[in-house]
Amino acid sequence: MQFIKSSVLNFLALFLLLVFGFVSETNAQQPGGKVHEDSISVITIGSGVPGGCFANRAEEMTVIQNKGRYIVLDCGYTSVMKLMKEKLPMANIDTIMLTHLHADHSSDFLNLMLWRFLYGGRKLDLVGPPNTGEYYKFFKTFYKDDIMYRAMVFNTTTTEGALKGVKVREIKGKSRFNLGDISVETEAMVHCMYDLAYKFTIDGTTIVVTGDTSYTKKLVTFAKNTDMVVMDGSFILYALNPPKDYNFDVSGLLARKYDGKTYDKYKPKPYSGNFLVESHCNYADLIKICAEMNPKQLLLTHLFHDIYGKGIDPQTDELKEKVRKDLKSAGFTGEVYFAEDGLEVGVKK
Ligand SMILES: [Zn+2]
Ligand SMILES: [Zn+2]
């Protein structure tokens, strides 16, 4: 009933806004509002691999919530729709961070920037690997007229949060900086696109978000004994039926021809894609690295959707049980969570 009432009111507000454009800025608010039980939590808004959005999982977006303040990490396709569905207040997003520039982690950036601004988001820290600034520049030049028109309709009275007030920070490898009272460290991972892992320290609680990565000792050192690790868990898909041969053979891929030519002369530029490395941890490596990091809480995300077309998510109860068992056998002692779109996990100190 409450939902119906607020839907009608929202519709009326939107109607007035579009037709007359006289709604004051304070009324141009996003409907709803999420209530959080924990002062620090992690929410997997989009938990899928590329193309997951065409089935049952939006592409990647992880949100760190701290007393109603939001840090958004990555924004793959349809993640912004899920963010709105979860009723997270866009105005309280003060930081957007990109782990890497693959489309399944960044293609909703334009929607995120626009709707955050229209729903009252102002000053923003934008953090990511090299070239992140180019994406923001594209947003504010290509969409300038659109931003201005919508700013008028929404009566925002300022362009702060869209055309100005956005601080871009491009990161290479190891670094350390503060976002207000949250301290952040970074480390480069191993992926076919330059990928950064982020470590947040909030009131003594530590959270690591890996982005996409294959096995690297650097991640073990970076994330060892932290409170929570949000990990690329793609290949738990094979927990019940691991492939016999784990050898990663890139030569087969690189021998393929495009427009009559192979990629054998492909030389990746620094901080761009490197097709020569394994992109994700295979199942055995995933179990090994999670046990070596041994965080108190492990949240596995970037999970496969209904690729078999069976109408069920491949992360069945049986599969989850097998992953838990294998982690335990490898020496992992913490708690394990499997991401769903909209799953919120309170971070324990
Ligand atoms: Zn990727
Ligand atoms: Zn990905």
48-74 pLDDT, tens digit each: 999 988 888 999 999 999 999 999 999
Specify the range with the lowest mean pLDDT, choosing from 92-106, 200-214, 239-253, 330-344: 239-253
Within a domain: 28:
no
Within a domain: 24:
no
Nearest Cα neighbor of 345 from 294, 297, 283 is 297
Nearest Cα neighbor of 295 from 342, 331, 340 is 331
> Closest ligand to 46 CA?
2
Res 28: pLDDT: 54
Query: Can you give the residue range of the structural domain that contains 106?
Result: 33-242+251-346
Specify the range with the lowest mean pLDDT, choosing from 25-34, 130-139, 264-273, 318-327: 25-34
Cα(25) to centroid(ligand 1), Å: 38
Cα(232) to centroid(ligand 1), Å: 10
> Closest ligand to 302 CA?
2
- Distance from C-alpha of 220 to C-alpha of 209, rounded to nearest angstrom: 13
Res 266: pLDDT: 66
Within a domain: 6:
no
Structure tokens at 109: 């950036």
Count CA atoms within 13 Å of residue 281 on its CB side: 28
Cα(47) to centroid(ligand 1), Å: 13
Res 214: pLDDT: 96
How many beta carbons lie within 10 A of that of residue 117, not counting itself?
27
Confidence category of residue 349, pLDDT binned at 50, 70, 90 = confident
Within a domain: 53:
yes
Cα(291) to centroid(ligand 1), Å: 23
- Distance from C-alpha of 231 to C-alpha of 44, rounded to nearest angstrom: 11
Cα(318) to centroid(ligand 2), Å: 25
> Closest ligand to 273 CA?
1
The beta-strand segments (E) located in the chain are 40-46, 61-66, 69-73, 93-97, 124-128, 166-170, 175-179, 182-188, 196-202, 205-209, 228-232, 257-258, 261-262, 297-301, 335-338, 343-346
Structure tokens at 323: 């992953």
What's the CATH number where 139 sits?
A: 3.60.15.10
Q: Which of the listed ranges 10-24, 103-117, 262-276 does the model predict with the highest average pLDDT?
A: 103-117
Cα(255) to centroid(ligand 1), Å: 21
User: Mean per-residue pLDDT for 168-175?
Assistant: 98
Give the global pTM: 0.90
Asked if residue 5 has pLDDT above 70, the reply is no
Residue entry with tokens 């990928």: 195
Q: Which amino acid is at 254?
A: L
Cα(33) to centroid(ligand 1), Å: 31
Taking only the tens place, the pLDDT of each residue in 93-140 is 999 999 999 999 999 999 999 999 999 999 999 999 999 999 999 999
Count CA atoms within 13 Å of residue 333 on its CB side: 4
- Distance from C-alpha of 25 to C-alpha of 118, rounded to nearest angstrom: 10
Residue entry with tokens 């990565």: 213
Confidence category of residue 264, pLDDT binned at 50, 70, 90 = low
Confidence category of residue 152, pLDDT binned at 50, 70, 90 = very high
Within a domain: 10:
no
Within a domain: 144:
yes
CA angle 92, 125, 343 (to 5 degrees): 50
Asked if residue 16 has pLDDT above 50, the reply is no
> Closest ligand to 102 CA?
1
Asked if residue 292 has pLDDT above 90, the reply is yes
Cα(332) to centroid(ligand 1), Å: 26
Cα(317) to centroid(ligand 2), Å: 23
Cα(343) to centroid(ligand 2), Å: 18
Cα(176) to centroid(ligand 2), Å: 24
Cα(168) to centroid(ligand 1), Å: 21
**Reading across the β-sheet that carries 175-179, which strands appear in turn?**
175-179, 182-188, 196-202, 205-209, 228-232, 297-301, 335-338
- Distance from C-alpha of 299 to C-alpha of 16, rounded to nearest angstrom: 43
Per-residue exposure over 245-277, b if at least 16 CB sit within 10 Å of its own CB, e if not: eeeeeeeeeeeeeeeeeeeeeeeeeebebbeeb
Number of domain units in the chain: 1
Within a domain: 11:
no
Within a domain: 154:
yes
Asked if residue 2 has pLDDT above 50, the reply is no
